[in-house]
Amino acid sequence: MKKYFVTGLVILLPLAITLGIAVFIVNFLTRPFVGFIEQFLVIYPWYAKYQGPIHFFLQIFLLIGLFLFTALLGFLARMIVFRSVLNLYDFIMHRIPIIKTVYKATQQVLKTIFGSSSRTFKQVVMVPFPVKGAYAIGLVSSPAPKLCETTVNKKLISVFVPTTPNPTSGYLMMYQEEEVVYLDMKIEDAFKYIISCGVISANEPPLPDEME
């Protein structure tokens, strides 16, 4: 019975987590707009009776609308005439106190994630962390800032050490080249290993029927 439960859990849990994340994203993107529209619908007597279905269809409609609007905005951004307007908008956002800090950080993160591969993680490595003699999986991001290298008079590389099971947080470390052990491992496999807390091997992910 135990092995059947574990097998079912392995099948069901990823689906539940995926659905939970999807619902969170949908609510996050549509809730402000749905709430604004529903303020005008409350005055109608039929709204209370069909509030659930109306709320659901409003979310779907707004989600499709946001997708089409985003695609249209991306299309217009590639046109020379509209690009000048975006440059003006970007210039203004970079001049507003406080807002510019959040805007710049968000812009850089999104460009790194969705931009060219030259700005993403380059290599999976093992690094001494958190103490000498122990190793953690790390991702080489870029050379260390020149100021840091000149301060210690050593050539350094920047390595992001993700936490487990949530790899979106972690530690940004700087190591000398000889301290880093390079691995022949894909970035995706490294994340699988980290998220599974080491249960799933980078080279041989277990099948549900193998977990007994």
Does pLDDT of 212 surpass 50?
A: no
201 Cα distance to chain centroid: 22
Least confident of 61-70, 72-81, 151-160, 186-195: 72-81
pLDDT digits (tens, 9 = 90+) for 7-46: 777 778 777 888 888 888 888 888 888 878 877 787 777 8
CATH of 121-210, picked from 3.90.1580, 1.10.3470, 2.30.130, 2.30.30, is 2.30.30
135 Cα distance to chain centroid: 25
Does pLDDT of 201 surpass 80?
A: no
The SS3 of residue 75 is helix
Average pLDDT over residues 74-92: 74
Q: Where are the domains of the chain?
A: 2-114, 121-210
Query: Is the pTM of the predicted complex or chain greater than 0.75?
Result: no
pLDDT digits (tens, 9 = 90+) for 151-189: 999 999 999 999 888 787 889 999 998 999 999 888 888
- Provide the phi-psi class of 197: left if phi over 0, else alpha when psi is between -120 and 50, else beta: left
Q: Are 120 and 160 in contact (CB under 8 A)?
A: no
Does pLDDT of 96 surpass 70?
A: yes
Average pLDDT over residues 59-82: 79
Average pLDDT over residues 95-110: 76
Average pLDDT over residues 57-67: 86
